[in-house]
């Protein structure tokens, strides 16, 4: 008998945007705590394959699958391939985000100087990506007739607001609201749905930018109660908790994992 309260009991997991950074660590955490297999999604297949190799080397089971989460047909194909390779999905982690696989170079301009062709870069991955993945996975979650978990990584930009990130923050807030509705709808099927809101997180892709200006970095960290940037493990720890039976009576919630940058009531 496992003594690991966070053991996933063999649930199959699908983690989007998991070829690097936070998504990679979430995939590793789930694989190390009793997942029956982890589908590692990324827009760039080679990144996903490298994470799968890490999981295999540690003795876990994993499958790399390429998809653009902002494309509904691509997502349906991803889910079908995952189920064929690993079995019915019991955990979905919507991690894919930022500004999309191919960010529009004008995304940092004031939003009123641009239009939908720019806005959709952020909305496509951060809002429609969540809708696409949840809609594709839900029929299987219901058919399993067993506890299931949906977890979406949002941002404090969607809770607190962030100047210059209005479209991104709006998309994240929309995803959070969508998840609350999903929680109410799917509770009768033993499926929980929760959000994790993150703030400045240091990954291999962002470390150089964060640390290149020590004075600016110190000023940024002054806004945090715990004066360091988040690490992928901080987010992965919460994702693992929400994927496990330790969180079985928790749904429709948003958990800030942000070093106290904002406080939840």
The catalytically annotated residue of 128, 160, 168, 189 is 168
Q: What is the CATH number of domain 12-254?
A: 3.40.50.720
Q: How much is the pLDDT for 2? A: 63
Burial (CB < 10 A; 0-12, 13-18, 19+), residue 2, is exposed
Residue 211 has pLDDT above 80, yes or no: yes
Global pTM value: 0.96
Largest CA distance in the chain: 60
Three-state secondary-structure class, residue 192: strand
Residue 206 has pLDDT above 90, yes or no: no
Q: What rounded mean pLDDT belongs to the chain?
A: 95
What residues does each domain of the chain span? 12-254
pLDDT tens readout for residues 74-128: 999 999 999 999 999 999 999 999 887 788 889 889 999 999 999 999 999 999 9
pLDDT tens readout for residues 21-78: 999 999 999 999 999 999 999 999 999 999 999 999 999 999 999 999 999 999 999 9
Q: How much is the pLDDT for 13? A: 98
Q: How much is the pLDDT for 99? A: 83
Residue 114 near residue 106 (C-beta atoms within 8 A): yes
| Tokens of residue 210, six digits | 């964060």
Planar angle of CA 104, 110, 113, nearest 5 degrees: 80
Q: Which of 210, 219, 199, 217 is nearest to 259 (CA)?
A: 199
pLDDT band at residue 207, thresholds of 50, 70 and 90?
confident
Q: How much is the pLDDT for 1? A: 58
Q: How much is the pLDDT for 101? A: 78
Token match 């194909």: residue?
77
Active site residue 224: no
């Amino acid at each position: 008998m496992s003594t690991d309260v966070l053991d996933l009991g063999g649930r199959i997991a699908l983690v989007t945007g998991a070829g690097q950074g936070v998504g990679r660590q979430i995939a590793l955490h789930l694989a190390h705590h009793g997942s029956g297999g982890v589908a590692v999604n990324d827009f760039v297949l080679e990144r996903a394959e490298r994470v799968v190799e890490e999981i295999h080397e540690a003795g876990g089971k994993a499958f790399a699958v390429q998809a653009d989460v902002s494309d509904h047909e691509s997502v349906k194909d991803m889910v079908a391939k995952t189920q064929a390779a690993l079995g019915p999905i019991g955990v979905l982690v919507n991690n894919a985000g930022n500004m999309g696989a191919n960010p529009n170079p004008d995304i940092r301009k004031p939003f009123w100087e641009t239009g939908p062709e720019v806005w959709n870069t952020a909305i496509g991955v951060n809002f429609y990506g969540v809708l696409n993945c949840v809609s594709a996975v839900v029929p299987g979650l219901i058919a399993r007739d067993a506890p299931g978990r949906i977890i979406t990584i949002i941002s404090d930009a969607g809770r607190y607001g962030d100047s210059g990130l209005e479209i991104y923050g709006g998309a994240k807030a929309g995803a959070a609201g969508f998840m609350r509705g999903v929680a109410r709808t799917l509770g009768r099927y033993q499926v929980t749905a929760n959000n994790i809101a993150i703030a400045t997180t240091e990954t291999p892709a962002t470390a150089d930018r964060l640390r290149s200006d020590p004075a600016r970095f110190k000023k940024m960290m002054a806004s945090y109660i715990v004066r360091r940037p988040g690490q992928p493990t901080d987010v992965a720890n919460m994702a693992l908790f929400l994927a496990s039976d330790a969180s079985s009576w928790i749904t429709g919630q948003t958990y800030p994992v942000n070093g106290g940058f904002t406080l939840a009531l």
